[in-house]
A and B are shown apart, each in its own frame.
Chain A
Amino acid sequence: MIRKFTAFGLGLGMLLSLCTTAFAETLPTVTFDGNAEKFISNVDIEHFGDAFEGIAPGETRTQDFTIKNSDDQSKDIYFSAKALEDLLDGGSAYYFISFLRDGQPFYRGTLGGPNGALTDLGAPDTPLGSPVLLATLENGESCEMSMIFTLDGASTGNEYQAKDGLFQFTFSASDAITPAPTGTPTPSRTTYTRPGTITTAKGVKTFDSAPLLPLCGLLLLSLIGFAVVNWDLIFHRKKHR
């Protein structure tokens, strides 16, 4: 009986350690489900990774996650962030945030401060909290993301000890602006990447259609102007002849 009990104990111990390992290795994955037309997460959406627990001022932590597109069509996947709760009531801790896509840096900004918003350091004129284009993904395609946070040491003193805060990350999707031809490799993942440098993803504000309208108006006017001028030239040439 004692031997059986011992064996059971060992077995249970091994099982528990296997479970622990499996849980620890669960990488948060956000998948755009084309049928449901929404995102699904493989982890609790109120506990999306634990990389930032126990962070110290000046410390850099990395949260890896995967984004995947399971829709038939290519999708642009966007990300926005907000410090929902600061570490300290009335505090204004800053976090430096950067993103790596498949190991390549492509975004650098700050999060937090008095309004808790995301600020694009690469494009200071970008409105606070504007979504970041993470990737354009084809059907079934996924990419590995690394979200790197540094808690600014200058904005956090001793009063920031043993405090709790909360980040909110929002994933959104839209039909890819320029769908790649079916069956051909897509260059979209390198479109926004410059290896070795940190660049800003242009077109972050693609949800905002406002800047396109004046552009179209200008194009239309210039083409009409061009037509009128040419028409005038042709008309005058004919008349001259």
Chain B
Amino acid sequence: MLFILLGVCTLGDALGGTWAARSYESLSVQTPVTTNTLSIQMPQLQMNLTDKPAESLVPGAVLTASTHVFNDGDYEEYVRVKIEKAWIDGNGISAAGADSDYITLHTDHASDWIIHDTSQGSEASYYYYTKPIAKEAVTSNIIDSVEIGNIPSSEQNLYNKLHVQLNLTAESVQRIAGREAIRYEWNVPCTMDENGQLLAVGDATTE
């Protein structure tokens, strides 16, 4: 009996030693965590088409008009530009029945942009710049010229005195976690290569 009780006491002492481990003065350090700014700028179209004399907008006319997107934020960014085409009258009101398909946009850097129509019956298309734009860098021109289509003579009265209006709206998301950002913010899937270059957007993706 004495042997067994001694054994119990020894075990108790051993366990007691573990919870009596001495602790020392701790050290607290602080580390800042900060975020930067996401920002872009888009210069006005170099030619304001609504100010052009209506007489110059004859069928088949090609007018130069260019713009690009500039990254003035702190992060590398992906950019897309929403382009809405419309025929408007002298009061700036959209002309009923006028077909925006007679307004064709041309770019000299077609391989830099992926065009994704919204397929919602609207006249808007989204132009996705395939490369992420570094801080203080610019995209290539989204548009270099605008062409007025060959409007059949039977329809030309409808377009008489109308103006071409282009509305461009640029948006950007961060390159970091870019695929997720594009899907979450722009609600479209996309395919990228290992360098972060956009290969496909929307239905053509192979996610």
Q: Does A209 contact B (CB under 8 A)?
A: yes
Chain A interface: which of B43-51, B150-158, B159-167, B172-180? B172-180
Closest to B177 in A: A58
Chain A interface: which of B33-41, B115-123, B188-196? B33-41
Count the B residues whose beta carbon is within 8 Å of the partner chain — how many? 37
Closest to A163 in B: B35
Interface size class of A (residues with CB under 8 A): 35 or more
Q: Does A212 contact B (CB under 8 A)?
A: yes
Q: Is B34 a contact of A52 with CB atoms below 8 Å? A: yes
Contacts of A174 in B (CB 8 A): 21-24
Contacts of B26 in A (CB 8 A): 39, 170-173
Q: Does A54 contact B (CB under 8 A)?
A: yes
Q: Is A58 a contact of B8 with CB atoms below 8 Å? A: no
Which of A153, A177, A227 interacts with B181 by CB under 8 Å?
Answer: A153
Q: Is A216 a contact of B12 with CB atoms below 8 Å? A: yes
Contacts of A171 in B (CB 8 A): 26-29
Q: B65 → chain A, closest Cβ, in Å?
A: 31
Q: Is B11 a contact of A169 with CB atoms below 8 Å? A: no
Q: B79 → chain A, closest Cβ, in Å?
A: 16
The majority secondary structure among interface residues of chain A is mixed
Bound complex: CA A149 to CA B18 (Å): 34
Which of B4, B24, B31, B38 interacts with A166 by CB under 8 Å?
Answer: B31
What per-residue 1/0 map shows which CB atoms of A139-178 lie under 8 Å from chain B?
Answer: 0000000000101011010101111111111111111110
Bound complex: CA A175 to CA B26 (Å): 13
Q: A105 → chain B, closest Cβ, in Å?
A: 20
* 17 new A-B contacts at CB < 8 Å, known A45-B29, A54-B35, A165-B34: A28-B29, A30-B29, A55-B33, A55-B35, A57-B177, A58-B174, A151-B35, A153-B180, A165-B32, A166-B30, A166-B31, A174-B22, A212-B15, A219-B15, A220-B11, A223-B7, A223-B8
Enumerate chain A interface residues (CB-CB to B < 8 A): 28, 30, 32, 37-41, 45-59, 63, 76, 83-84, 87, 149, 151, 153-154, 156, 158, 160-177, 206-207, 209, 212-213, 215-216, 219-220, 223-224, 226-227, 230-231
Instruction: Jot down 10 A-B pairs with beta carbons below 8 A, ordered by A.
Output: A45-B30, A52-B33, A52-B34, A153-B180, A161-B37, A164-B34, A171-B28, A216-B15, A224-B8, A227-B4
